Every structure is written in C-alpha cells, then in structure tokens.
C-alpha cells in the first residue's frame, strides 16, 4: 500500500458566498421523495415540506430534529429572506404529532416521551421567535402538532381545504404546542370553546376566528409560493402585500357568516366560568340546543384533561410564549404519568371503539390538589428555553 503524502491543510477562508452555495447544495440533497421532511433553498426562501402524506404529515421526533437546526441556520443566513412551511399529499398540512410513538414510549418509561415534547416545544418557540418572516401554508388538516408548526409564525395562509382543531381533550391530553398562549388570545371565549370541545373550524372560518392571517384558494398556492420565492426584498411588509393581493382575489365562501357568529354570545357567557364545574352548570342551566350539544361533547372528554386545559388557558392568557411552553411541558409529563392519555389513544386511535374509560370518570373526582400537582416545577427536568 502506497504511503500517504501528508499535505499541509489549507488555511480556512472567511465565510463567503461559495460556502453559502455549498451549504445550499447540501440542503438540496435532502429533497429525495422518501425523506419525511424536505429542506430546500429556492431563491431567497428556505422551504420546509412535511412529507409523510400517508400519515397526514404527522410530525415525529426525527422530523423535529431536522427542522429545528435548519430554521436556526436560515435565521443566520444573510441570503435567506423568508421561510415557507407546507405539507405534501393534498389532504393535510400536518394532522398532529406522532401520538402512537409517544404512547408506546410512555408506557414503558422510554425517554422519547420526554424528548419528543421537549424538542417539539423548543421548535414551537423557535418559530414564535423567528427573526425571518415565516409563512405557513396550512392547506388541509391542521391539528395539534401541525398548529404548533404554523400558528406561532408571522403568516398563516388558510384555504378552502383547511380543517383546524385542537382535539386533545378527547385523548386524555391538553391543547399543547403553545395552545395556552394563542387560544386565550382569540376573540372572546372562542379559544376556551375550541380547547375544551375540540370543535373543528373549516376554510375561511379559520381566518375569521383569528387563527389564519390570510385566505387563498388552494389551487393558487403554487403560484403564491413561486411569487414568494421571486421576491427581491422580503421584508414583512412586502410579504404581507403579496399575501394580501392573493387574499383579495379569493372569492370562496366570502359571503358566508362565521360558523360561530350566531353562538358567540352564548360561548362568551357560558365558557367564562372559573371552573369546569361552573361551565357545566352554565350549560345545563342554559338548556338551549347549542348548550346541550356542548354538554354532550364535554361529557365525552377526559375530566382530568378538561380541568388541566381550563387552568392552562386561564394562566397562559397573561404569560409569555416561553413560560407557556415551560408550563405545558410540566403538563405533558403529568399526562405521561396518568392513565387517561393511554386510554384515550386506545379508544380513539388504536381500537377505535370511541368509548374511553376515564379515571377519574367525573369532574368532581379530579381534585384541585391533583391539578396543582400537574403544574409543579420538575426541577432539573424542566424545559429550558
């Protein structure tokens, strides 16, 4: 075997355009169709594409571990002016987190049940504090973890295919990914209503509720993306102007009233109770068809989840996003310890019998002491942002 000739190492060159180009080429390699997330640079735009269409683009830990450092890199890159996130497959932007994997891990005390929430919430915070304009194209199903990947960014573009929900109380969880921050900040008590009942908003109603910032016809998204990539100066104002121009051209469902309009007075009064017991009492006393329907829905939810969620939103209303995510991490670990999360996932996602057996089974059996305990700091295990 021939001896290797040792050559002196070349002197490191200052950060230059060539290194930026090489970095972009490296990113482009990750665009094979089998990857769970595609990370590309086109023009001045960094583009994140969630690519698990068969799983409705549900986000898992390996995707989070690719997206987070890429956002941080693009944030520092002077040649990246904006970040776009979208989903493939035509059905969903992102239907949530990879709940099955978390359930399996939590049951056996696997560290994934800690790591997933820690790293997902850290990514939610990175989106909420991103220095570059962040545009989420929320075309199709956008629930749970998918809301966390979009709602904290500067721009959220809904279409006629958007279906928004935070359905966690039905699986023994709570509306996390910063739900404690954005939900109580929606108009009136809409956020409390959405959080406790898991009600689904569709199409233009996602805009009218204040969750989306713009509404564009689904078929126009490729053209919008092309125009965003072509922007020569991507200030927030320029991006807003472009999104507004598309928004103004969309006629779909323009004349329709907001789906909750006729119920807003009731939502604002009935869901303003200080406790879940008070909200239930309000609904029973009201007795209208709307109130009875909400009562039926709430009765199917985990009593523990309902109590955690109400307090999460009441406290989150006056907290920073960072403090909310730290609080939610504590709640996530409390849910991993209790039985309802596993029972909810079994009933809704695995056996699909839709008949969860909650423990405790009634709101009055969930003590204030137990709820207090779920909010307690975790010491060195707390989420640090």
DSSP readout, 262-302? Answer: GGHHHHHHHTT-SSHHHHHHHHHHH--HHHHHHHHHHHHS-
Q: Is the Cβ–Cβ distance between 67 and 51 less than 8 Å?
A: no
Chain segment 47-57, per-residue pLDDT in tens: 999 999 999 99
Establish whether 145 is a catalytic residue.
yes
- Where the chain has pLDDT below 50, the residues are 1-15, 18, 20-22, 24-30
* pLDDT for res 255: 82
CA distance 120 to 36: 16
For the chain, the C-alpha Rg in angstroms (whole number) is 22
Q: Kindly name the residue from 98, 168, 205, 225 that is annotated as catalytic.
A: 168
Are β-strands 45-50 and 37-42 bridged in parallel, bridged antiparallel, or unpaired?
antiparallel
Establish whether 90 is a catalytic residue.
no
Q: Kindly name the residue from 97, 153, 180, 191 that is annotated as catalytic.
A: 97
Q: Kindly name the residue from 98, 120, 139, 176 that is annotated as catalytic.
A: 176
Q: Kindly name the residue from 106, 140, 145, 153 that is annotated as catalytic.
A: 145
- Please count the CA atoms within 13 angstroms of the CA of 114 that sit on its side-chain side: 10
Q: What is the pTM of this model?
A: 0.90
Packing angle, helices 112-128 and 61-76, rounded to 10: 30
Are β-strands 134-138 and 82-87 bridged in parallel, bridged antiparallel, or unpaired?
parallel
- What totals of helices (H) and strands (E) does the chain contain, helices first? 17, 10
CA distance 88 to 191: 28
Establish whether 97 is a catalytic residue.
yes
Closest CA to 170 of 292, 271, 305: 305
């Amino acid at each position: 075997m021939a001896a290797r000739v040792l050559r002196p190492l070349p002197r490191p060159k200052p950060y230059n355009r060539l290194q930026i180009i090489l970095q972009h080429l490296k990113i482009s390699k990750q665009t094979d169709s089998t990857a769970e997330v595609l990370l590309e640079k086109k023009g001045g735009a960094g583009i994140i594409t969630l690519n698990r269409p068969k799983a409705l683009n549900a986000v898992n830990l390996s995707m989070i571990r690719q997206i987070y450092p890429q956002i941080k890199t693009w944030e520092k890159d002077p040649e990246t002016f904006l970040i776009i996130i979208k989903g493939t497959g035509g059905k969903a932007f992102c239907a949530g987190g990879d709940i099955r994997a978390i359930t399996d891990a939590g049951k056996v005390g696997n560290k994934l049940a800690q790591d997933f929430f820690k790293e997902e919430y850290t990514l939610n915070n990175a989106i909420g504090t991103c220095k570059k304009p962040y545009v989420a194209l929320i075309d199709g199903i956008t629930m749970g973890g998918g809301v966390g990947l979009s709602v904290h960014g500067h721009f959220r573009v809904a279409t006629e295919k958007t279906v928004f929900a935070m359905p966690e109380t039905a699986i023994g969880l709570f509306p996390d990914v910063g739900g404690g921050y954005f939900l109580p900040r929606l108009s009136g008590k809409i956020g409390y209503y959405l959080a406790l009942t898991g009600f689904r908003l569709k199409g233009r109603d996602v805009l009218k509720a204040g969750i989306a910032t713009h509404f564009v016809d689904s078929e126009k998204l490729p053209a919008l993306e092309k125009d965003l990539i072509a922007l020569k100066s991507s200030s927030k104002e320029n991006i807003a102007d472009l999104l507004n121009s598309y928004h103004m051209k969309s006629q779909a469902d323009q004349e329709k009233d907001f789906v909750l309009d006729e119920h807003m007075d009731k939502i604002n009064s009935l869901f303003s109770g200080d406790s879940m017991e008070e909200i239930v009492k309000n609904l029973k006393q009201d007795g209208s068809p709307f109130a009875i329907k909400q009562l039926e829905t709430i009765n199917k939810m985990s009593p523990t989840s309902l109590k955690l969620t109400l307090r999460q939103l009441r406290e989150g209303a006056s907290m920073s996003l960072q403090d909310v995510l730290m609080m939610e991490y504590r709640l996530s670990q409390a849910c991993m310890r209790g039985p309802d999360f596993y029972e909810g996932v079994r009933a809704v996602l695995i056996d699909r019998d839709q008949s969860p057996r909650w423990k405790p089974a009634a709101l009055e059996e969930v003590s204030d002491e137990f709820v207090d305990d779920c909010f307690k700091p975790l010491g060195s295990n707390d989420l640090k942002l």
